Copies of this chain bind each other. A is one copy, B any other.
Amino acid sequence: MKRVSIHDVAREAGVSITTISKALNNYPDVNPQTKRRIQEVVERLNYVPDAAGRSMGGIPEKVIGLLINDLKPLDPSGAVYGILSGVCHACQDRGIGFMLLTTDFAAQRTVPLKKLCLSKGLTGLVCSGFRLDDSYPAQLRDIDIPCAFIDVETGAPGVIDVTMDNERAAQEAVAFLLKNGRRNVALVNGMRTADVAVRRGRGYRRALENANLPVLPERMLAADFDEGLAHEQARRLLARDKAVDAVFCASDLMALGVCRAAEELGMEIGRDLAVIGFDDIPVARYLYGGLTTVRQDFYLMGYTAGCAVDDRINGRADSLVTGDMMYELVVRGSAPGRL
């Protein structure tokens, strides 16, 4: 079964392919009658212009690629999904094509970013899920299409960094704990290769320093954004350091692990131990009397990134959304108090 081409339509409609092309691209110099006849034939033959053909002819569709690093089977925090749907909707709203691409640590060394963009024919790019030791962030200067990076402050010239002020958010969260009477606040952080983790760690530290409290290394745990690891680490910490009365976690998932550990040790969440998470995942409000957390809006980040890239594509360079994304401390039962 061969594909029906513009020639088939032309033959059937009794005109030249040129006229078909013009009619389909809404050129003004086509007789309305002819146009209608053509439309009819198009319907009847179920003709659909070939994208490759158009592209070659001179109408390459604009496409924004969302490049996700290390796409995993599970996305417990929903961050990847949120960003994905955000970029996707932005492209829909702007009437521009969307393409999902993936890579990983190894592939980044094999295929240059520029080559990737070129081979996919991208007009714009949004990157997400990259760590500080990945190589694509360093290849940013090579590509010549508008590009946005999510959750990594690349600082690269011309690159749109879509991030929120993680340091300040973390600082506020810890300050909230201190203000509500906690004095021995521990930290459960993600891996050091995650830009956001580094910054949240800094915020934690700064909050303690501002309150003239000691920053104790033994109270700063790394749990790779993993519930299980957080649970394990927290259990050990809480068992040996009875003074700890609050924990700030760099993700809700890790906060869940901490809560689990605390309950196993007979502590009551929100009273004996205040726990703050990060992200505000959909189920956060239902757990442990509600998980106090720093909300961020992944969908909006994706949507913002997509729009910003599209703006750049269209020459509007005004949108520089660096560090501007919203966050909000949502106070619930796991760490009660007032702001």
Contacts and interface: CB of A to CB of B under 8 A. Distances in A.
B102 A100 contact: no
A115 B46 contact: yes
Of listed A82, A85, A99, A120, residue having the most chain B CB within 10 A: A85
B48 A115 contact: yes
Nearest to A75: B81
A72 B282 CA distance: 13
Contacts of A3: 118
A121 interface: yes
A68 to B, nearest CB: 9
A56 B54 CA distance: 10
A49 interface: yes
B121 A52 contact: yes
A227 B102 contact: no
Interface residues of A, number: 50
Of listed A49, A81, A287, residue having the most chain B CB within 10 A: A81
Given A53-B56, A88-B100, 17 more contacts: A46-B114, A48-B115, A50-B121, A51-B120, A52-B53, A71-B85, A73-B86, A73-B89, A75-B85, A76-B78, A76-B283, A84-B84, A92-B102, A253-B283, A256-B283, A256-B286, A286-B287
A120 B48 CA distance: 10
A55 interface: yes
A82 B73 contact: yes
A98 interface: yes
Contact of A81 (B49, B53, B81, B86): B81
A144 interface: yes
A208 to B, nearest CB: 29
A206 interface: no
Contact of A100 (B49, B74, B76, B100): B100
Interface in A62-114: 71-76, 78, 80-82, 84-86, 88-89, 92, 98-100, 102, 112, 114
Given A46-B115, A144-B1, A85 B100 contact: no
A205 interface: no
Interface string A259-274: 0100000000000000
A25 interface: no
A225 to B, nearest CB: 12
A210 interface: no
22 contacts: A3-B118, A48-B115, A48-B118, A49-B119, A50-B121, A51-B52, A52-B55, A53-B56, A56-B56, A71-B89, A72-B85, A73-B86, A73-B299, A74-B282, A78-B78, A81-B81, A88-B100, A92-B102, A256-B286, A283-B283, A286-B287, A287-B287
